Amino acid sequence: MTKRVLSVVYMFWITLFFASLVSAVKLMNDKRIERNQTIKLQSIILRVLQIPTPEQMPEQALSRLFADRVKEIDVQGKTLYVGYEEDGRTIRGYALPVGGPGFWGPIQGMVGIAPDAAKVLGIAFIKHSETPGLGGRITESWFTDQFEDLPLFPIEGERNIFYLKPEGTSRAANELDAITGATNTSSAVETFMNRELDHFLKDLWGQIGETT
Partner 1 sequence: MPNLPPKKEIFLTGLWKDNPVLRQILGICSTLAVTNLMVNTLVMDLGLIFTVCMSSLTVSLLRKVTPLRIRMMVQTLIIASYVIIVDILIKAYLPDISEALGPYVALIITNCIIMGRCEAFARHNPPGASFIDGLGMSLGYSLVLIAIAFIREPLGFGTLLGFRVMPQGFVHWTVMIMAPGAFFTLGIMVWILKYFRPQTGEEKG
Partner 2 sequence: MDAINPLTLFFAAIFTNNILLTNFLGLCPFLSMSGQKKSAFGMGAAVVFVMASTTALNNLVHFKVLVPLGLEHFRYIVFIVVIAAFVQMVEMTVERFFPALYFSLGIFLPLITVNCAIFGASLFMVIREYDFVQSLAYGAGSGIGWMLAIVAISAIREKLQKTAKLPRGLEGPAITLIITGLLALAFLAFSGMIRVQ
Q: How far is the CB of 26 from partner 1 (least distance, A)?
A: 6
| Torsion, CA 74, CA 79, CA 85, CA 90, rounded to 10 | -30
Helix or strand (DSSP H, E) at 107: strand 106-113
Q: Is 184 in the site for partner 2 (CB under 8 A)?
A: yes
Would you count residue 38 as binding partner 2 (CB under 8 A)? no
Binding mask 62-101 for partner 2 (x = CB under 8 A): -------------------------------------xxx
**Amino acid at the residue 1:** M
Using an 8 Å Cβ cutoff, are 66 and 81 in contact?
no
Residue 11 binds partner 1 (CB under 8 A): yes
- Let me know the angle formed at the C-alpha of 94 by 91 and 96, rounded to the nearest 5 degrees: 170
The three-class DSSP label of residue 42 is helix
Q: Cβ 104 to partner 2, closest distance in Å? A: 6
Rounded to a whole number of angstroms, the minimum distance from the CB of residue 181 to partner 2 is: 6
By CB under 8 A, the residues from 122 to 141 that bind partner 1 are 127, 129, 132-134
